Amino acid sequence: MLVEGLVSTIIPVYNRPALLRQAVDSVLVQSYRPIEVIIVDDGSTDATPEMARSLAAAHPAEVRCLRIANGGPGVAREAGRRDAKGAFIQHLDSDDLLQPHKFELQVSGLRQHPECAVAYGKTRFYRFGEQACDKPWKRTGDQITTMFPSFLKERWWDTSTPLYRREITDRAGPWTSLRQEEDWEYDCRIASQGIMLYNCRQFVSDTRAYGSRQLSSQAPVMLADRSKAHELILDHARKAGISCETHEMQHFARELFLLSRQCGAAGLDKESERLFHLARGASLSRKRAGLDFRIYEIAARAIGWSRMGQLAQYLDGFRG
């Protein structure tokens, strides 16, 4: 049952007990109430389950934990989404932090602006051991009124930045099981609804990085997920009516072509061919019929999409 005014924070976690405590603490010190914290342990193999249970036991009115088989961040967030009771949804990675007035600022903004479905603010980025400075990360310091078409160039905020109205996440539906770019795809699904953004203009969260925060996005299994995510993102943009004439769509078309070559070089023939045709379809009409696409397709059909991807990357390196 949905609880009016409640902010539900969903924290997926895998093998990060100390960081989990810090993330949860950053929610518990919020100046806004009511809140709930849903920890989703994604099959951790260390002390994380014990930490999650201890946090829930120490704060039984506001923290609860779920444990699922390891399925990646999207699967974990979906488990939290199904369990959440709040009218507002906050996602938080276990190594990131919220600023104490985030909910107060963003809930107030959404209540004052019923035409807006998502609130955002500035996010800081720094590595563990570095001194944080008040410099907006990506484009979180910019005034942007809609998610599309800008999200075709990049996901210009981080997972901790936005606060969503519950009805908009319910309309978006379940998270995918992708392990790469699942957050970008999900936000583009929300963007396809044509929603308006509220910018509270304050620093609201911290993104912290250390070591290899993510697995290599160039590994074949990760490239396959990126391929699927890009295909879905293009579909969301088309549903939103984003024209091929926009420079954002042209940027995304080039990204599709680059990813096609990367997939080919990694031996992912089907993904490479699929992305190639998506890239051509998203390009301007004069480019679709241009020599670049025509020559690449003829060569790929002659020697194979994998060998063509390898050749293209070799030539890129040689030119570089």
Q: Is the pLDDT of residue 216 over 80?
A: no
Q: How confident is the model at residue 109 (pLDDT cuts 50, 70, 90)?
A: very high
Whole-number pLDDT of residue 218: 78
- For range 88-110, the mean pLDDT: 98
Q: Is the pLDDT of residue 223 over 90?
A: yes
Q: Which are the contacts of 39, defined by CB distance < 8 A and separation ≥ 6? A: 11, 13, 20, 24, 52, 55, 56, 63, 64, 65, 66
Whole-number pLDDT of residue 200: 98
Q: What is the pLDDT of residues 46-59, one digit of tens each?
A: 999 999 999 999 99
Instruction: Report the percent of the chain where pLDDT is more than 70.
Output: 97
Q: What is the pLDDT of residues 76-90, one digit of tens each?
A: 999 999 999 999 999
Map residue 285 onto helix, strand or coil. Answer: helix
Whole-number pLDDT of residue 159: 97
User: Lowest-confidence range among 71-75, 202-206, 244-248, 291-295?
Assistant: 291-295
- For range 141-162, the mean pLDDT: 98
pTM for the full predicted model = 0.95
Rounded CA separation 19/127 (Å): 14
Q: Is the pLDDT of residue 318 over 90?
A: no
* Domain range summary for the chain, segments of one domain joined by +: 3-209, 243-319
- For range 236-256, the mean pLDDT: 97
Q: How confident is the model at residue 316 (pLDDT cuts 50, 70, 90)?
A: confident
Map residue 213 onto helix, strand or coil. Answer: coil
User: Lowest-confidence range among 46-55, 108-117, 188-197, 283-292?
Assistant: 283-292
Residue with tokens 């959404």: 110
- For range 109-122, the mean pLDDT: 98
Calculate the alpha carbon distances from 175 to 178, 222, 302 in Å.
8, 17, 39
Q: Is the pLDDT of residue 214 over 60?
A: no
Rounded CA separation 167/13 (Å): 25
Whole-number pLDDT of residue 211: 63
Q: What is the pLDDT of residues 253-296, one digit of tens each?
A: 999 999 999 999 999 999 999 999 999 999 999 989 889 999 99
- For range 91-118, the mean pLDDT: 98
The chain-wide mean pLDDT, for the chain, equals: 95
Closest CA to 141 of 133, 149, 131: 133
Q: For the chain, first and last CA: distance in Å? A: 57
- For range 221-239, the mean pLDDT: 97
C-alpha torsion 73→149→190→44, nearest 10: 10
Q: Quickly count: other Cβ atoms within 10 Å of residue 46's Cβ.
A: 11
Q: What is the pLDDT of residues 198-212, one digit of tens each?
A: 999 999 999 999 765
Whole-number pLDDT of residue 320: 55
Fold entry, domain 3-209 = Spore Coat Polysaccharide Biosynthesis Protein SpsA; Chain A (3.90.550)
